A and B are shown apart, each in its own frame.
Chain A
Amino acid sequence: MPSIIFIHPDGSRQQIEASAGESAMQAATRNDLSGILAECGGNAMCATCHVYVDEAWLARLPAMGGAEDALLDGAAAERQANSRLSCQINLAADLDGLVLRLPDRQL
């Protein structure tokens, strides 16, 4: 069971227990985390599940697809080098302890 840590814009940390095979977005919405909207339900079509990945973890994530890359350009909060869509991060066991920072807005 990987656990992930979300850091809210105010700096508070929230740890969430994810089920294997779930996406970071699914784990977040299942636990009613504020700050992830996920309007398209995980289809990489809305950019309202934007997160900033902690630098230490960035290289360990699966590569970004073309749809994700294009969508991030239109994300509400500024795109940074460590921006990802949390619905495209599948939580394999090796991502236990993953740290994701939430942007100040998703719309």
Chain B
Amino acid sequence: MSVTSRIDAATSEQGAPAGVPRLDVDPFSTEFFEDPHPIHEVLREAGPLVWLDKWGVYGVARYAEVHAVLNDPLTFCSSRGVGLSDFAKEKPWRPQSIILEADPPAHTRTRAVLAQVLSPTAMKGVREHFTAMAAAKVDELLARGSFDAVADLAEAYPLSVFPDAMGLKREGRENLLPYASLVFNSFGPPNQLRQEAIERSAPHQAYVAAQCQRENLAPGGFGACVHARADAADITPEEAPLLVRSLLSAGLDTTVNGIGAAVYCLARFPDQFARLRSDPTLARNAFEEAIRYESPVQTFFRTTTREVELAGHRIGEGEKVLMFLGAANRDPRRWENPDSYDVTRRTSGHVGFGSGIHMCVGQLLARVEGEVMLAAIAHKVASIQITGPVKRRYNNTLRGLESLPITISPA
């Protein structure tokens, strides 16, 4: 595979540092979305730190460096944006997130609120219902036999549980996935995906802004729980809607792509599906391993707050560093047989949910959804056949499918 193609004349080369391998790889291109793995390997093998000419940013693709950057949030900050855009130089396209795009100490306070709303105790409250809904969904799909595993399963199941768990009204929910897709495209460079998403964003933004208000969130849901924390003065009444917005932005499309990744794995690797069927208690790990294997959230940026040395190279202040979570999750320096999907693998330590202070605050909810869906499949489904062309969906941050036609048979 060629990694040296055209160097875009529009990007400055001034930042290109001596000694750091320079690559002409565009991680926000169709070629990359179609098959990132050979490019990940090139990035990892080029060195612990690389420079991407196309966008004038540093990149880290090995596990050790990705982990190190994630775990030094004061040097590699989030408050200047976790996309390519540097908020110190460019106005954010929407009011900045007060958790994802915040640093300590501000982050510490808002994070504690969402961590409590999505705590292990809170999960006990939704688990039973989520389990019943997963079983019902699999029964319905078994009755149909053939369907699209993206629209009818990976999207349909989270849509059947998450908006209700948040306490959202029924009307307008069709805005949720387009809004999330917009948010995750916006972390990318000003390419067509990002520009078009932002141009079409107004109705989705208006919907989400309204749903974040207290009066639109049903009592007992996660949204109302966030607002209740304003009564306790842990956050201000102005901050509560912004934290609800974080859950709406990050809580749906991610699990769609996580569950989609898991089903795609089970469909492609029948031996692993057989292993799961023989021991359905592996469901939770089978989901976790799919997150490692496919990394539905592929990349995030950080911005340096000072001059820093990383892997023997000096990085100046105000530089963007792109972390390749998907490449770290398959780094042979960290993982045995990284390119095999293994439902019995010890997955602890993968960075599919990030690591450090910003590590996914919704990870427990994601695991409940993934586990109960895979357990229902393990109990009820005997075989999964891919029956048509598999189409990829293009997004600057999210990796997933547009279409996965399958036929399943009952156990």
Contacts and interface: CB of A to CB of B under 8 A. Distances in A.
A45 B346 contact: no
A74 B121 contact: yes
Interface in B329-349: 346-349
A43 B355 contact: yes
Contacts of A40: 353, 359, 363
Interface stretch (B50-58, B112-120, B156-164, B255-263): B112-120
Contact of B356 (A38, A43, A47): A43
A79 B121 CA distance: 12
Contacts, number: 55
Interface stretch (A6-14, A52-60, A65-73, A93-101): A65-73
A107 interface: yes
A70 B351 CA distance: 23
Contacts of B116: 70
Contacts of B288: 39
B346 A29 contact: yes
A41 B350 contact: yes
Contacts of A73: 119-121
Contact of A45 (B284, B347, B359): B359
B364 interface: yes
Nearest to B361: A45
Contacts of A29: 346, 348-349
* Chain A interface, >50% SS class: loop
B364 to A, nearest CB: 7
A4 interface: no
A75 interface: yes
B367 interface: yes
B126 interface: no
Interface string B88-128: 00000000000000000000000010011001111110000
Given A29-B346, A70-B115, A107 B284 contact: yes
A2 B81 CA distance: 41
Contact of B349 (A41, A71, A107): A41
A20 B101 CA distance: 34
A74 B346 contact: no
Nearest to A87: B348
A73 B120 CA distance: 8
Interface residues of A, number: 21
A84 B266 CA distance: 36
Contact of B348 (A41, A70, A74, A107): A41
Given A32-B346, A43-B359, A71 B119 contact: yes
A14 B351 CA distance: 29
Contacts of A38: 348-349
Nearest to B67: A41
- Tell me which of B120, B346, B349 has the highest count of chain A C-beta atoms within 10 A of its own C-beta: B120
B348 A45 contact: no
B120 A71 contact: yes
B115 A45 contact: yes
Contact of B123 (A32, A39, A42, A74): A74
A71 B119 CA distance: 7
Query: Which 10 residue pairs across A and B have the least CB separation, nearest first?
Result: A74-B120, A74-B121, A38-B348, A41-B349, A43-B359, A47-B120, A29-B348, A74-B119, A41-B348, A45-B359
20 contacts: A29-B346, A29-B348, A32-B346, A37-B348, A39-B288, A40-B359, A40-B363, A41-B359, A42-B349, A43-B355, A45-B115, A45-B363, A46-B364, A66-B112, A67-B112, A70-B115, A70-B116, A71-B120, A73-B119, A74-B121
Interface of B: 112, 115-116, 119-124, 284, 288, 346-351, 353, 355-356, 359, 361, 363-364, 367
Given A39-B288, A74-B119, 13 more contacts: A29-B348, A29-B349, A32-B346, A38-B349, A40-B359, A40-B363, A41-B351, A41-B355, A43-B355, A45-B364, A47-B120, A74-B120, A74-B123
